[in-house]
Amino acid sequence: MRNPLSSISLNAELLEEEICNGQDFDCAEAHTLLSAIIREIDRVSSLTDEYLQFSRLPESELAVGDVNYLVREALNFFETEFEQEGIEIDAAGLDRRLSVPIDSAQLRRVLMNIIRNAVESMDGGGKLKVWTKKNKQLVTLGIQDTGAGIPAAMVASIFNPFFTTKDFGTGLGLAISQQIVQEHKGRIYCESEVGKGTTFMIELPAKEKEEA
């Protein structure tokens, strides 16, 4: 948090100097400085929210829900961004109901985080492949991007709290996602290759009988 706070302090000092110049006051420059201050305050707020969410993550309350519905909902949320970023969607197995004991709000959070990471990794466009499948024991969800990929030495660390491959980030998104999946008695893991992309796999215990 020191970096954005330092930026706020510096820009506030520059703004003070600009205001104190009296007749030479430059409104455009003041607007630029204020925008920078607001942007950094938003960064601090985002950091604080993630830290609080990580430390106060509520226990998952499981009820039978449709995993495929949550996946479709998440993809629909990003639809405009997919178009703007030139990202092609390849979805399979999402047209049927997959009933699983889940906390819908918490699992939605996992999906949004992984899809967001995938979009950010595909600077300049790419393909996002999403699929689900089910056997008697497991429902498996795969999310695969064609982005920059993650170096092999880092893959084992990406679920560690505060570890991040981004220029700016808390390193808590995937740690929170892993915690949520584990509370569902499932597991999440990642496979990646630099220059070829990344695949996240989520496995959840399946409901014994499929609802009609």
User: Is the pLDDT higher at 128 or at 23?
Assistant: 128
User: pLDDT tens across 131-179, in order?
Assistant: 999 888 899 999 999 998 988 888 888 887 665 666 555 567 888 899 8
- Residues 113 and 174 sit within 8 Å (Cβ to Cβ): yes
The span from the CA of 116 to the CA of 50, in Å, is 15
pLDDT of residue 146: 95
pTM of full prediction above 0.75: no
Report domain extents, the chain.
2-55, 63-205
User: pLDDT tens across 67-119, in order?
Assistant: 999 999 999 999 999 999 999 999 998 999 988 899 998 999 899 999 999 99
Structure tokens at 45: 């707020």
**pLDDT for residue 208 is more than 50:** no
- The CATH number of the domain covering residues in 63-205: 3.30.565.10
